[in-house]
Structure 1
Amino acid sequence: MKFKNLYILGLILFSSMNVFSQIAEEQDSTNFEDDFNELEGAVITGTMKEVSRLESPVPVEVITSKLFKKNPTPSLFEAIGMVNGVRPQMNCNVCNTGDIHINGMEGPYTLILIDGMPIVSSLSTVYGLNGIPNSMVDRIEVVKGPASSLYGSEAMGGIINVITKDASKAPKFSADFFTTSWLEYSADIATKFKIGKANSLLGVNYFKYDNLVDDNGDNFTDLTLQDRISVFNKWNFERKENRIASLGLRYVYEDRWGGEMQWNKRTDRGSDKIYGESIFTSRIEAIGMYQLPIKERIITQFSYNYHDQNSWYGNIPYMANQEVIFGQAYWDKTFGKHSLMLGATLRHTNYDDNTPATASLDGVKNEPSRTTLPGVFIQDEIKFNSQNTLLLGYRYDYDKNHGSIHSPRVAYKWNSFNKRQTLRGSFGTGFRVVNLFTEDHAALTGSREVIILEELKPEKSYNGNLNYVTRFSTDFVNIDVDLTGFYSYFTNKIIGDYDIDPNQIVYDNLNGHAISQGISLNTNLTFDFPLRASLGVSYMDVYQKEKDENGILQKNQQWFAPEWSGTFIVSYTFPKNFMVDLTGNWNGPMRLPILPNDYRPEYSPWFVIANIQLTKKFNNGIEIYGGIKNLFDFIPSEDPLMRAFDPFDQNVDDPINNPNGYTFDTTYNYASLQGIRGFLGIRYSLF
């Protein structure tokens, strides 16, 4: 069926391009936009103020909106995988929710921001990047390594900051529609308008997938069915002396389910006869920024989000809601060689669910969690001269459960005279207050019981990295090289042990330490003919050392953290504005959570997910594009679900038919079950 749909999409693509070639006014052009070399672009995430990426003392990686178009995806969750060392990880083979891993560290260590505000965290982590309209996004900035000195808890492993477009600079109207041979449909529409001195950008994103597919024959959906709508509205206000004032609002509703092919939402949701995982999500967000009308540059920011989740994992309910209020104010002052920033933050979280996370100690009544986390921070960027910059930072937070938390940071940057070489070094600490259930989706799948051995302590990390960037040219190519070595040491790391009992996840603070270390290399090549390439490779060694019963430290590799991984983007522009893009990523073996005596391998194989796209641009603002995803048709050959025929574990005690005591398990996954598929789309922009 999928190959028939792929063939039809190919015919439509070929015909459409020929028709538009005849009816549209064409322009022969060999100009090729610099999609990869963003060294001179502005970034804000590393220091909380806008500076040139080249001048930033903290290394920041950038994905621009132009790069999204080289491999169109229905959500930013998938698009972020174009960054070397950043991996979207699917955590459940039934409902297909996931999180973002930076340098092999799990999702809870990644802080996701929208316009610098911690709008996506905790309960919404697994849904945070779904439903953000691509038409609203200007760029995504990624900082690897702890940034708690500026952003507090959860910025322990890195930051992903989604920068939305300025309403005054966005297109008047834009639209992007595409479909795939799996019958996925995505629509993204945005328009801007002006009322008085206020510029507004309104975006709507809709994604629909309602096609039951079971190519591996286990009677479970290979891809979760989804029905999602997101509405985003941003306002930028014109003020005297270009002072900042903006307000953004977003609403997301999603209905997703996966499970047995015969599952019916009306009759089987929450039942113990036919297995399904059904999640209803409603979410409201607000973010704002306002610069005080005084001589000094004082910025105030706020964010609010309310997340309501109604879920059933088989016959196990998970009902939760979370409300997060965040406020921040900082003073930005430059004098002499110093660029000083002094600020204060306050974050209040209300969280409630039906799990032991909000139960009283005796388990008799429900006690919603209410957490207030105040903090202050100071940062001084000292620019000694055009070559040398020193960044000093410190943050103090107070948590009622953990007391005082200190987070210092220091960074140094050196530039050569011609700015073709840059060396950065940094050291910092990170922390994360305990918020277990809201972050670990594996605890909610229903296939395992959650056990907490003791009162969990806050995690801490110590990180150092060294970054070297150089640019050089030959007669026919310009080359940018970005090389980074990193090392992170974790204490009190919260570990979910899947090995003690196949029916349980046992959580405890690590009796030892954890390490994330490695090196990453990014290379951008710009040829004197219209060929561009961006190639990245990462080596990571992510593991934990824990004392056994004899007090001897034992080393265990981190799950879902391949030692070797990489990304690639190759683009060529032909005459008549035809462009071909080859994109993808590859991964080496990664350790997987297996059951005792599991017949499936403990490590995944090497694999590549490659995509190819052909785009035709017209000078009337229309683009037609199409291509193939998962070009090599890679699908995991192992059983993604253990005992898919007995999802409620009704017959696990049968010693004859189940001598190893296997139980239903959804956590063994390392790649999507979607094989090769075609896609076809059209986009339009009016400036």
Structure 2
Amino acid sequence: MILKKQVKQICALLALCAIPFQGGMADTVTGRVVSEGEPVPYANVTVKGTTIGIAADKDGNYRLSGVPSGSRVVEVRAMGYGSTQKTVSVIDGQEVELNFSLSTSALRGNEIVVTGSRDEVPRKESPVIVSTVSGEELTEVVQAATVSEGLNFATGLRVENDCQNCGFNQLRMNGLEGPYSQILIDGRAVFSAVAGVYGLELIPTNMIERIEVVRGGGSALYGSNAIGGTVNLILKDPVVNSYEFSGTSGWVGVGGDDFDDAANDYTATLNASVVSSDNKMGMTVFGFYRDRDPFDANSDGFSELPEITNTTLGLRAFRKIGDRGKLTADFFTIDEDRRGGNDFDAVEHEADIAESIKQRFINGALTYSQYLRDYDKLSLYIATQHIDRDAYYGAEKQLDAYGHTDDLSLQLGAQYKAVFGPSQVIAGVENNREWLEDDKLGYYDIDTDTHVPETPVADQESNIVGVFGEYQYTWDKLKATLGLRWDNYDITNEISPDADISDDILLPRATLLYSFSDDLQARLSYAAGYRAPQIFDEDLHIESSGSRRVIYVNDPDLTEETSRSYMASVDYDTMVGDVDFGFLVEGFYTELEDPFAIEIGEPDVDGNVIYTRYNAEGAVVKGVNLEAHVIPSSMLGMRAGFTVQSSKFDNPQDVNDSGSIREEKFLRSPDTYGFITLDWEPVDRVGIALTGNYTGEMLVPYFGPEIADPDEGELRKSDAFFDAGLKVRYTVPVDDAGLQFYAGVKNIFNSYQDDFDSGIDRDPGYVYGPMSPRTFYIGMKFGNLL
């Protein structure tokens, strides 16, 4: 009923948006975009408050037709230059010339971001700090094949591998684990808990325009899970007619000059865009293929990194409707096979250990945007994600370790932005629904008459209805924002109907932004967050790879986990001569109330163990993020970030089943970590990139055969690591295109864990440090925008 009602509301709003915009006569604006006298090719030129826009040609010339008469704001964006805008008076029957001269480097404050306020604004005007990593930096500098490889280069973020067998990795933000981070795809919260298990290693970087990161509570805007922060994956838009192909060969785990034991890693990418001459329609397509062999770090016959085969295909298309309407469609599908363990040539149940996943992701979205009045904007959207996963998680040749997961997420929403002089209001409604069924052969009894499974691992349906609003007012240099979100969540569980949960929650947010000057801003913010109860979590199948059969249930008294986040920052960006320089100091303090914890039951005669999720006492995460960049010219740029933080429970928590080991610090959470990137073009056509990731010491639990009682386990302190990378690229002009050759090495000094557990009885969760060992690669790229 909720979905039917909301669909009717959205249809009614779509009918309203069909009313044509009544403006004045249309005329033409022409001009040229340059930087230091040189043309800026393919800059994106748009008229604010409309969908009128065009891409400049390779010489920087543009021609905007059909511009309504009157005072208009024209904005120019170009990769590597940020954005700028000018006001022009468009007169009936006249052609207006408007030229732009852009800075040689992209001032960080001039970047257009959307995640901090659900609206496009320059970064320096965002009510909260939004950090960005561009798609160009991910592919040209970091040489990241997937999103998981690139998120380490955003301040306050760290991606870790948590399983030797399946290669599950998770994102930590400001010291908090993966479930506390909200992953968005173009602002849509359809990235489910199931997707979070392997999804970040599935999404290729060649489909990403940029990644936006908002640290701290974001539930007031984006709902459940946005406690540690929000990561918004923004897909590439079709801007100009373009094409690009690339192929890379890599060797993972090279020791010295020895390539014999290295694992091969091959990737190929495809990107192509086509845009109509009047810029009314456009489409971009992308493809990605990866084939990586398993890697065995300690030569015990069992993998530390799983083998992966990934095929991704997708597209984005738009159609402009009149001067103020735009319809955008997105679709991509990912097919992946991954397997870890040993005996890779045998079927799964013939191996000593096998964690094998064959899965398909299908993701689609449809968005309609309509400008009303001058800058008011209505957005209607629907997004969905479906995951179909066959899996085997077993040891010692278990026949009953096969399983299947079916997960469907759906989001419907509407948002309206209204501007009244110094005031702005953004309000909307969203409905997020998820259906999850997770079956495993060994987790239930088979009915002898119907041969139908009686007890799946999880059979859950959740529905969250949210209404949000935010009011913003600007007094000269001070901008204040007050926001509130009401969510009603309803979670039903077929396995344990007594544990069905339904509740309402209010989530306030308040921010203050004071601009001392155009270069210096200070911010204060408070935000409440929450995490709705669920069954499926990252740890579900990690435990089930052993001999115990784990069934997760919710305690009947389980309630949502809540948080209060406080943040303060000073952000400085300026030009000193021709040098773009900036730094950020950001303090954060997050209190968790009723955090989820697990009570482990006693195994029954069949080896089944009930894991009950309950509310524990609170925890506090606090620290400081530091970020800096220096860009002396368009030929050289450096960016760095560093985090110092503390993550502790109010009281020590059980580390093992018996409770003999208790610890107040968050496990696998270092107190210090950071990154640095440097990109240099010493001469024309040649580029050199240097990267580094630092990971401090952390506490890691170990439950393996190296100790007398593996069930009791022990806590170990890891070493600190520094993962350095080097890449060299050379581009050769070929007619109107370019051919680029590149080569490099990741983790130059092989700063990698050296005490992995061994053999069939190993602890697969005893993993820490950088995700990959030393890796050499070579490749080539061909495209008309190189």
Which TM-score bucket, shorter chain as reference? 0.7 to 0.9
Question: Cα 1:625–1:490, aligned 2, differ >3 Å: closer, same or farther?
Answer: same
The one-letter code of the counterpart of 1:608 is F
For 1:236 and 1:453, the matched residues in 2 are separated by 43
Structural mapping, 1:38-49, within 5 Å: 38-49=108-119
**2:701–2:715: 8 Å Cα contact kept in structure 1?**
no
**2:687–2:730: 8 Å Cα contact kept in structure 1?**
yes
Question: Cα 1:486–1:84, aligned 2, differ >3 Å: closer, same or farther?
Answer: same
State the match for 2:366 in structure 1: 288
The one-letter code of the counterpart of 1:268 is V
For 1:164 and 1:170, the matched residues in 2 are separated by 15
State the match for 2:175 in structure 1: 104
Deviations 1:66-98 (A, max 9, x none): 211102122111111111210112121111121
How far does residue 35 in structure 1 lie from its aligned partner after superposition?
A: 7.2
Question: Cα 1:572–1:172, aligned 2, differ >3 Å: closer, same or farther?
Answer: closer
In structure 2, list runs of 5 or more residues that go unmatched: 1-78, 82-103, 253-263, 446-452, 491-500, 655-661
RMSD, aligned α-carbons: 3.0
**2:531–2:560: 8 Å Cα contact kept in structure 1?**
yes
How far does residue 600 in structure 1 lie from its aligned partner after superposition?
A: 7.5
Give secondary structure in 2 for the equivalent of 1:124: helix
Worse-superposed segment, 611-620 or 35-44: 35-44
State the match for 1:249 in structure 2: 331
How far does residue 191 in structure 1 lie from its aligned partner after superposition?
A: 1.2
The one-letter code of the counterpart of 1:427 is Y
State the match for 2:436 in structure 1: 351
- Normalising by structure 2, we get a TM-score of 0.74
How far does residue 452 in structure 1 lie from its aligned partner after superposition?
A: 5.0
1:214 to 296, 312, 334: 296
Structural mapping, 1:228-247, within 5 Å: 228-247=310-329
1:307 to 387, 394, 406: 387
The structure whose residues are more often strand, as a share, is: 2
State the match for 1:412 in structure 2: 512
State the match for 2:225 in structure 1: 154
State the match for 1:462 in structure 2: 564
**1:188–1:205: 8 Å Cα contact kept in structure 2?**
yes
How far does residue 545 in structure 1 lie from its aligned partner after superposition?
A: 2.2
State the match for 1:576 in structure 2: 684
Question: Cα 1:587–1:180, aligned 2, differ >3 Å: closer, same or farther?
Answer: same
For 1:497 and 1:474, the matched residues in 2 are separated by 57
Structure of higher RCO (CA pairs closer than 8 Å, 6+ residues apart): 1
The one-letter code of the counterpart of 1:327 is L
For 2:527 and 2:288, the matched residues in 1 are separated by 38
The one-letter code of the counterpart of 1:175 is F
How far does residue 187 in structure 1 lie from its aligned partner after superposition?
A: 0.8
**1:102–1:157: 8 Å Cα contact kept in structure 2?**
yes
State the match for 1:325 in structure 2: 410
For 1:142 and 1:332, the matched residues in 2 are separated by 22
Give secondary structure in 1 for the equivalent of 2:284: strand
Question: Cα 1:475–1:293, aligned 2, differ >3 Å: closer, same or farther?
Answer: closer
1:192 to 259, 262, 273: 273
For 2:595 and 2:729, the matched residues in 1 are separated by 46
Does residue 485 (structure 1) correspond to residue 583 (structure 2)? The answer is: no
**1:263–1:274: 8 Å Cα contact kept in structure 2?**
no
How far does residue 347 in structure 1 lie from its aligned partner after superposition?
A: 1.2
Matched length: 624
For 1:476 and 1:482, the matched residues in 2 are separated by 20
Does residue 683 (structure 1) correspond to residue 765 (structure 2)? The answer is: no
How far does residue 546 in structure 1 lie from its aligned partner after superposition?
A: 3.0
**1:467–1:482: 8 Å Cα contact kept in structure 2?**
yes
State the match for 1:202 in structure 2: 285
Give secondary structure in 1 for the equivalent of 2:109: coil
**2:598–2:614: 8 Å Cα contact kept in structure 1?**
no
Does residue 80 (structure 1) correspond to residue 151 (structure 2)? The answer is: yes
State the match for 2:623 in structure 1: 518
How far does residue 602 in structure 1 lie from its aligned partner after superposition?
A: 1.1
Greater C-alpha Rg = 2
The one-letter code of the counterpart of 2:724 is A
For 1:38 and 1:673, the matched residues in 2 are separated by 29
Question: Cα 1:605–1:173, aligned 2, differ >3 Å: closer, same or farther?
Answer: same
Question: Cα 1:398–1:625, aligned 2, differ >3 Å: closer, same or farther?
Answer: same
Question: Cα 1:103–1:35, aligned 2, differ >3 Å: closer, same or farther?
Answer: farther
**1:535–1:569: 8 Å Cα contact kept in structure 2?**
yes
Structural mapping, 1:257-276, within 5 Å: 257-260=339-342, 262-264=343-345, 267-271=346-350, 274-276=352-354
**1:35–1:66: 8 Å Cα contact kept in structure 2?**
no
How far does residue 441 in structure 1 lie from its aligned partner after superposition?
A: 4.7
Give secondary structure in 1 for the equivalent of 2:108: coil
Structural mapping, 1:492-531, within 5 Å: 492-496=594-598, 506-527=611-632, 530-531=635-636
Does residue 590 (structure 1) correspond to residue 709 (structure 2)? The answer is: no
**2:105–2:631: 8 Å Cα contact kept in structure 1?**
no
For 2:151 and 2:653, the matched residues in 1 are separated by 38
1:433 to 519, 522, 532: 532
Worse-superposed segment, 122-131 or 305-314: 122-131
For 1:601 and 1:519, the matched residues in 2 are separated by 26
For 2:650 and 2:608, the matched residues in 1 are separated by 24
**2:214–2:230: 8 Å Cα contact kept in structure 1?**
yes
**1:636–1:673: 8 Å Cα contact kept in structure 2?**
no
State the match for 1:298 in structure 2: 378
**1:91–1:441: 8 Å Cα contact kept in structure 2?**
no
For 2:443 and 2:181, the matched residues in 1 are separated by 24
The one-letter code of the counterpart of 1:127 is Y
Worse-superposed segment, 369-378 or 666-675: 666-675
**2:357–2:391: 8 Å Cα contact kept in structure 1?**
yes
**2:130–2:212: 8 Å Cα contact kept in structure 1?**
yes
The one-letter code of the counterpart of 1:513 is G
Structural mapping, 1:558-573, within 5 Å: 558-573=666-681
**1:32–1:573: 8 Å Cα contact kept in structure 2?**
no
Does residue 394 (structure 1) correspond to residue 394 (structure 2)? The answer is: no
The one-letter code of the counterpart of 1:383 is T
1:53 to 123, 142, 158: 123
The one-letter code of the counterpart of 1:621 is G
For 1:357 and 1:479, the matched residues in 2 are separated by 59
For 1:548 and 1:206, the matched residues in 2 are separated by 43
State the match for 2:248 in structure 1: 178
**1:352–1:358: 8 Å Cα contact kept in structure 2?**
no
Question: Cα 1:565–1:496, aligned 2, differ >3 Å: closer, same or farther?
Answer: farther
How far does residue 492 in structure 1 lie from its aligned partner after superposition?
A: 1.4
The one-letter code of the counterpart of 1:384 is W
Identity %: 22
For 1:567 and 1:125, the matched residues in 2 are separated by 23
- Normalising by structure 1, we get a TM-score of 0.85
**2:527–2:564: 8 Å Cα contact kept in structure 1?**
yes
State the match for 1:540 in structure 2: 645
2:754 to 637, 640, 653: 637
Deviations 1:641-669 (A, max 9, x none): 3xx4334xxxxxxxxxxxxxxxx421111
For 1:378 and 1:357, the matched residues in 2 are separated by 47
How far does residue 537 in structure 1 lie from its aligned partner after superposition?
A: 1.2
Deviations 1:486-538 (A, max 9, x none): 01111111124799999979554343211111001011122369442212211
**1:465–1:486: 8 Å Cα contact kept in structure 2?**
yes
**1:145–1:463: 8 Å Cα contact kept in structure 2?**
yes
